[in-house]
Protein backbone atom coordinates (compact mmCIF):
# COMPACT_ATOMS: atom_id res chain seq x y z
CA UNK A 1 0.00 0.00 0.00
CA UNK A 2 1.47 3.35 -1.07
CA UNK A 3 -0.29 6.20 0.65
CA UNK A 4 0.09 9.99 0.88
CA UNK A 5 -1.36 11.99 3.77
CA UNK A 6 -2.45 15.44 2.66
CA UNK A 7 -3.83 18.30 4.71
CA UNK A 8 -3.01 21.73 6.11
CA UNK A 9 -0.51 22.16 8.94
CA UNK A 10 -2.11 20.98 12.19
CA UNK A 11 -4.74 18.78 10.50
CA UNK A 12 -3.52 15.73 12.40
CA UNK A 13 -1.35 14.10 9.73
CA UNK A 14 1.46 13.12 12.09
CA UNK A 15 -0.97 11.85 14.73
CA UNK A 16 -2.83 9.66 12.23
CA UNK A 17 0.35 8.60 10.44
CA UNK A 18 1.67 6.81 13.53
CA UNK A 19 -1.58 4.85 13.86
CA UNK A 20 -1.84 4.02 10.14
CA UNK A 21 1.80 2.90 9.92
CA UNK A 22 1.28 0.56 12.86
CA UNK A 23 -2.06 -0.82 11.64
CA UNK A 24 -0.86 -1.53 8.09
CA UNK A 25 2.77 -2.26 8.96
CA UNK A 26 4.30 0.24 6.53
CA UNK A 27 7.07 2.79 7.18
CA UNK A 28 6.00 6.33 8.11
CA UNK A 29 8.02 8.89 6.18
CA UNK A 30 7.63 12.48 7.39
CA UNK A 31 9.77 15.07 5.63
CA UNK A 32 9.24 17.49 8.54
CA UNK A 33 10.54 14.84 10.98
CA UNK A 34 13.55 14.13 8.73
CA UNK A 35 14.43 17.84 8.63
CA UNK A 36 13.98 18.20 12.40
CA UNK A 37 16.15 15.13 13.07
CA UNK A 38 18.87 16.66 10.88
CA UNK A 39 18.53 19.90 12.77
CA UNK A 40 19.07 18.08 16.07
CA UNK A 41 22.07 16.24 14.59
CA UNK A 42 23.39 19.58 13.32
CA UNK A 43 23.98 18.31 9.76
CA UNK A 44 24.40 20.53 6.69
CA UNK A 45 20.90 19.52 5.61
CA UNK A 46 19.55 20.50 9.03
CA UNK A 47 21.17 23.94 8.83
CA UNK A 48 19.82 24.54 5.35
CA UNK A 49 16.30 23.34 6.20
CA UNK A 50 16.17 25.52 9.31
CA UNK A 51 16.46 28.70 7.26
CA UNK A 52 13.24 27.82 5.45
CA UNK A 53 11.38 26.15 8.29
CA UNK A 54 11.77 29.12 10.64
CA UNK A 55 10.23 31.38 8.01
CA UNK A 56 7.39 28.94 7.37
CA UNK A 57 8.61 28.43 3.80
CA UNK A 58 9.11 25.20 1.88
CA UNK A 59 12.60 23.73 1.71
CA UNK A 60 13.67 23.75 -1.99
CA UNK A 61 12.30 20.91 -4.11
CA UNK A 62 15.68 19.54 -5.29
CA UNK A 63 16.73 18.97 -1.70
CA UNK A 64 13.39 17.57 -0.54
CA UNK A 65 12.87 15.29 -3.54
CA UNK A 66 16.32 13.77 -3.18
CA UNK A 67 15.77 12.99 0.50
CA UNK A 68 12.42 11.35 -0.15
CA UNK A 69 13.72 9.31 -3.08
CA UNK A 70 16.72 8.07 -1.07
CA UNK A 71 14.33 7.00 1.65
CA UNK A 72 11.91 5.29 -0.76
CA UNK A 73 14.79 3.23 -2.21
CA UNK A 74 15.30 1.53 1.17
CA UNK A 75 14.36 -2.10 1.55
CA UNK A 76 11.50 -1.50 4.02
CA UNK A 77 9.57 0.55 1.42
CA UNK A 78 9.19 -2.50 -0.81
CA UNK A 79 6.04 -3.43 1.10
CA UNK A 80 4.66 0.10 0.74
CA UNK A 81 4.93 3.40 2.60
CA UNK A 82 3.06 6.27 4.13
CA UNK A 83 4.21 9.76 3.15
CA UNK A 84 3.36 12.54 5.61
CA UNK A 85 4.04 16.13 4.54
CA UNK A 86 5.25 15.18 1.06
CA UNK A 87 4.45 16.09 -1.67
CA UNK A 88 3.64 19.68 -0.77
CA UNK A 89 3.42 21.30 -4.19
CA UNK A 90 2.72 20.27 -7.79
CA UNK A 91 6.38 19.88 -8.85
CA UNK A 92 7.01 17.49 -5.93
CA UNK A 93 3.87 15.50 -6.82
CA UNK A 94 5.00 15.24 -10.44
CA UNK A 95 8.45 14.09 -9.35
CA UNK A 96 6.94 11.44 -7.07
CA UNK A 97 4.71 10.15 -9.87
CA UNK A 98 7.69 9.94 -12.19
CA UNK A 99 9.81 8.16 -9.58
CA UNK A 100 7.10 5.56 -8.90
CA UNK A 101 6.21 5.11 -12.55
CA UNK A 102 9.85 4.37 -13.45
CA UNK A 103 9.66 1.51 -10.96
CA UNK A 104 6.31 0.22 -12.23
CA UNK A 105 4.43 1.54 -9.20
CA UNK A 106 1.77 4.13 -8.40
CA UNK A 107 0.04 5.58 -5.37
CA UNK A 108 -2.79 3.53 -3.84
CA UNK A 109 -4.57 6.45 -2.20
CA UNK A 110 -4.20 10.06 -1.08
CA UNK A 111 -5.93 10.76 2.23
CA UNK A 112 -6.93 14.41 2.50
CA UNK A 113 -7.62 15.41 6.11
CA UNK A 114 -9.92 18.44 6.21
CA UNK A 115 -10.05 20.77 9.23
CA UNK A 116 -11.39 24.31 9.59
CA UNK A 117 -8.92 27.16 9.83
CA UNK A 118 -9.85 28.28 13.38
CA UNK A 119 -9.34 24.76 14.69
CA UNK A 120 -6.01 24.51 12.87
CA UNK A 121 -4.64 27.54 14.67
CA UNK A 122 -5.73 26.10 18.05
CA UNK A 123 -4.21 22.76 17.22
CA UNK A 124 -0.87 24.15 16.08
CA UNK A 125 -0.38 26.72 18.83
CA UNK A 126 -1.37 24.10 21.46
CA UNK A 127 0.93 21.43 20.03
CA UNK A 128 3.83 20.29 22.20
CA UNK A 129 6.42 17.79 21.02
CA UNK A 130 9.07 15.63 22.58
CA UNK A 131 12.49 16.73 21.27
CA UNK A 132 13.93 13.28 22.01
CA UNK A 133 11.43 10.69 20.72
CA UNK A 134 9.22 12.91 18.55
CA UNK A 135 5.91 12.14 20.31
CA UNK A 136 3.22 14.81 19.80
CA UNK A 137 0.81 16.17 22.43
CA UNK A 138 -1.74 18.96 22.69
CA UNK A 139 -2.12 21.07 25.81
CA UNK A 140 -5.91 20.67 25.74
CA UNK A 141 -6.91 17.67 23.61
CA UNK A 142 -4.02 15.21 24.23
CA UNK A 143 -2.08 16.39 27.29
CA UNK A 144 0.72 14.20 28.70
CA UNK A 145 0.03 12.43 32.03
CA UNK A 146 2.47 14.71 33.86
CA UNK A 147 2.51 18.37 32.83
CA UNK A 148 5.10 19.03 30.12
CA UNK A 149 6.77 15.61 30.43
CA UNK A 150 6.79 13.02 27.62
CA UNK A 151 4.74 9.91 28.54
CA UNK A 152 6.95 7.75 26.37
CA UNK A 153 10.47 8.76 27.40
CA UNK A 154 10.23 11.25 30.28
CA UNK A 155 11.86 14.17 28.43
CA UNK A 156 10.65 17.75 28.80
CA UNK A 157 8.24 18.78 26.04
CA UNK A 158 8.86 21.82 23.84
CA UNK A 159 6.91 23.99 21.41
CA UNK A 160 8.28 23.77 17.85
CA UNK A 161 9.81 27.15 16.94
CA UNK A 162 7.59 27.26 13.83
CA UNK A 163 4.44 26.65 15.90
CA UNK A 164 4.34 30.22 17.25
CA UNK A 165 1.46 32.28 15.85
CA UNK A 166 3.62 34.40 13.45
CA UNK A 167 4.99 31.36 11.58
CA UNK A 168 1.64 29.60 11.65
CA UNK A 169 -0.06 32.33 9.62
CA UNK A 170 2.72 32.13 7.01
CA UNK A 171 2.53 28.32 6.88
CA UNK A 172 -1.23 28.44 6.31
CA UNK A 173 -0.65 30.91 3.49
CA UNK A 174 1.95 28.64 1.89
CA UNK A 175 -0.48 25.74 2.27
CA UNK A 176 -3.27 27.65 0.45
CA UNK A 177 -1.02 28.69 -2.40
CA UNK A 178 1.25 25.69 -2.91
CA UNK A 179 -0.24 22.57 -1.31
CA UNK A 180 -3.99 22.99 -1.79
CA UNK A 181 -3.75 22.60 -5.60
CA UNK A 182 -2.75 18.98 -4.92
CA UNK A 183 -6.37 18.25 -3.98
CA UNK A 184 -7.35 18.89 -7.57
CA UNK A 185 -4.29 17.10 -8.92
CA UNK A 186 -5.11 13.84 -7.08
CA UNK A 187 -8.88 14.16 -7.58
CA UNK A 188 -8.26 14.13 -11.33
CA UNK A 189 -6.23 10.94 -10.91
CA UNK A 190 -9.19 9.39 -9.05
CA UNK A 191 -7.24 8.49 -5.89
CA UNK A 192 -8.21 11.28 -3.47
CA UNK A 193 -10.22 10.38 -0.35
CA UNK A 194 -11.59 13.23 1.78
CA UNK A 195 -11.66 12.64 5.52
CA UNK A 196 -13.40 14.87 8.05
CA UNK A 197 -10.56 15.75 10.42
CA UNK A 198 -12.74 17.75 12.83
CA UNK A 199 -13.74 14.57 14.69
CA UNK A 200 -11.82 12.96 17.57
CA UNK A 201 -8.44 11.32 16.89
CA UNK A 202 -9.96 7.82 17.16
CA UNK A 203 -12.94 8.63 14.93
CA UNK A 204 -10.69 10.11 12.24
CA UNK A 205 -8.54 6.99 12.39
CA UNK A 206 -11.58 4.70 11.98
CA UNK A 207 -12.65 6.66 8.89
CA UNK A 208 -9.16 6.44 7.37
CA UNK A 209 -8.95 2.73 8.10
CA UNK A 210 -12.27 2.10 6.38
CA UNK A 211 -11.16 4.09 3.33
CA UNK A 212 -7.85 2.24 3.08
CA UNK A 213 -9.32 -1.21 3.60
CA UNK A 214 -11.74 -0.51 0.77
CA UNK A 215 -8.82 0.56 -1.38
CA UNK A 216 -6.70 -2.42 -0.48
CA UNK A 217 -9.34 -4.80 -1.79
CA UNK A 218 -9.08 -3.08 -5.14
CA UNK A 219 -5.29 -2.87 -5.05
CA UNK A 220 -3.77 -4.61 -8.06
CA UNK A 221 -0.07 -5.35 -7.59
Complex with ligand ADP: residue 133 or 219, whichever CB lies closer: 133
Q: Which of 70, 79, 133, 196 binds Zn ion (CB under 5 A)?
A: 133
Report the number of secondary-structure helices (H) and strands (E) in the chain: 9, 7
x/- letters, 112..151, toward ligand ADP (CB under 6 A) = -----------x--xx--------xxx--xx---------
Assign 37 to helix, strand or coil. Answer: helix
Q: Examine residue 88 and tell whether it contacts ligand ADP (CB under 6 A).
A: yes
Question: What is the C-alpha to C-alpha distance for residues 124 and 14, in angstroms, rounded to an integer?
Answer: 12
CB of 39 to ligand ADP, least distance (A): 10
C-beta of 2 vs 123, nearer to ligand ADP: 123
14-33 binders of ligand ADP (CB under 6 A): 14-15, 31-32
Cα distance between residue 66 and residue 70, in whole Å: 6
Residue 12 is a binding residue for ligand ADP (CB under 6 A): yes
DSSP 8-state code for residue 79: G
Q: Write the DSSP string, 122-136.
A: HHHHTEEE-TTT--E
Beta bridge partners of 110: 4, 192
Q: Specify whether the CB–CB gap between 12 and 113 falls below 8 A.
A: yes
Is the Cβ of residue 27 or residue 126 nearer to ligand ADP in the bound state? Answer: 126
**How far apart are alpha carbons 91 and 69 in whole angstroms?**
14
Binding partner at 150 among ligand ADP, Zn ion, none, C-beta below 5 to 8 Å by kind:
Zn ion
Phi-psi region of 118 (alpha: psi -120 to 50; beta: other; left: phi over 0): alpha
Binds Zn ion (CB under 5 A): choice among 29, 130, 174, 192: 130
Binding residues for ATP: 10-15, 127, 136-137, 199
The residues of the shown chain that bind ligand ADP, judged by CB under 6 A, are 7, 9-15, 31-32, 35, 52-53, 56-59, 64, 85-86, 88, 92, 123, 126-127, 136-138, 141-142, 162, 171, 200-201, 204
Amino acid sequence: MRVVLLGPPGAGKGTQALKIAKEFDIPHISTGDIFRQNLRDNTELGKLAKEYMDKGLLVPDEVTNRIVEDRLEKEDCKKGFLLDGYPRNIPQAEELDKFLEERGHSLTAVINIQVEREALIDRITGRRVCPVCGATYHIKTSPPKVDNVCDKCGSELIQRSDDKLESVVKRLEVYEKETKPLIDYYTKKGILVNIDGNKSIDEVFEDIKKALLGDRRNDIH
